Amino acid sequence: MGILAALAPLFLASGATAKVSTAPTYVPQTRTYYIAADEVEWNYTPTGKNQITGEPFDEDASVFTKQGPNRIGSTYIKSLYRAYTDATFKTLKQRTPAEEHLGFQGPVIRGVVGDTIKVVFKNNLDRPASVHVHGVFYDKSSEGAPYADGTSGAAKNDDGVAPGATYTYSYEVPERAGPGPMDGSSVMWMYHSHTDEVADDYSGLVGPMVITRASNARADGTPNDVDREFFLQFKVSDENASPYLQRNIDKFAGKPSTVKVDDEEFHESNLMHSINGYVYGNEPLEALTMKKGEHVRWYLMGMGTEVDLHTPHWHGNTVTALGMRTDVVNLLPASMVVADMVPDDVGTWLFHCHVNDHISAGMITRYRVLNADGTEGAVTESAATGSAATHTAGH
């Protein structure tokens, strides 16, 4: 301690003071995740009404949400990635309040530059599935995609994990997987099943991955300069292309025998224009709530096909993304954008895709900004000077 005291501060020849860093050096670790592909029933409208208008679904919204003799409605059988507590895969890992907004996305996989990530994957489906990741380093035995790649034997076991089987994927996190020169303290990647990529995507097997710069990483891998993180997937989920289409018809249509799968109106009714698996504002508002002045990081991804050109737009507040100030970003299928927000406008605000057809079809939700003390409503100028008058920001 005496030596350190004698050396700090250090005086440079220029007269400037060089401070000795007290920040701890990050020690790389192995992070292990237990993730299964499970069959679940997912409701795109759990509240049963349009939460944007506060009213029952109108005629336009009923195209996608109303169940009938030859309509499935808003609940579908899907395949989703879900986290478990250990390798027995007996106990689901409960989502924390900070994770509730994820909806039908898989659990967040986190890594820090220098780490090793292992995903112990259990396939609980009736068909093969896999885990394929973007961005990090892996060898052929952890690619999770079947094609003529020159490998054989054990190196092919990752391509499609058989029903009931378990496989361990391993990834390294080199510098090129982490933030680049123009990025913030963390970047987003994604993971998804690539065994039957189109069907696997539409069935729901997609999740987010975050890689944090070592100098900015907390012990749990989260970036230490961010107060709150949100992960949003914009996608027109084409349930017509799901491997569960016939089972969904048989279970949810009032008269399955009357369904004509090649009927244009039936096809349209199964195009769920969702954000995290919710339409017409059915994402719980509590799950997208933050406080004024917090550093909020939004990780956005697009998936789908040629109709999946999305323009997420925040009302009320702005973000910085790709080095510029904006309130709208652009997404294409399998694209990922990180946007940073320091909200200064208190209220409940729209957050939606700005493509007109997608707005009409329900790709719209809300987020809420509270005062720094956790209260609702923004104080007016008169209140700031002594009046008790307040107002609540509108939609």
Residues noted as catalytic: 353
Q: Which residue has the tokens 């679904």?
A: 57
Helix (H) or strand (E) holding 4: helix 2-7
Identify which of 295, 107, 293 has the alpha carbon closest to the alpha carbon of residue 184. 295
d(CA 272, CA 279): 7
Buried b (16+ CB within 10 A) or exposed e, 279-311: bbbbbbeebbbbbbebbbbbbbbbbbeeebebe
Identify which of 276, 358, 275 has the alpha carbon closest to the alpha carbon of residue 106. 276
Cβ atoms 273, 64 nearer than 8 A: yes
Helix (H) or strand (E) holding 201: helix 197-203
SS (H, E, C) 205-221: CEEEEEEECHHHECCCC
Identify which of 99, 296, 299 has the alpha carbon closest to the alpha carbon of residue 179. 299
Identify which of 315, 342, 370 has the alpha carbon closest to the alpha carbon of residue 379. 370
d(CA 169, CA 164): 16
d(CA 274, CA 349): 18
Q: What are the C-alpha distances in Å from 27 to residues 12, 215, 390?
A: 30, 10, 49
Identify which of 156, 168, 155, 91 has the alpha carbon closest to the alpha carbon of residue 123. 168
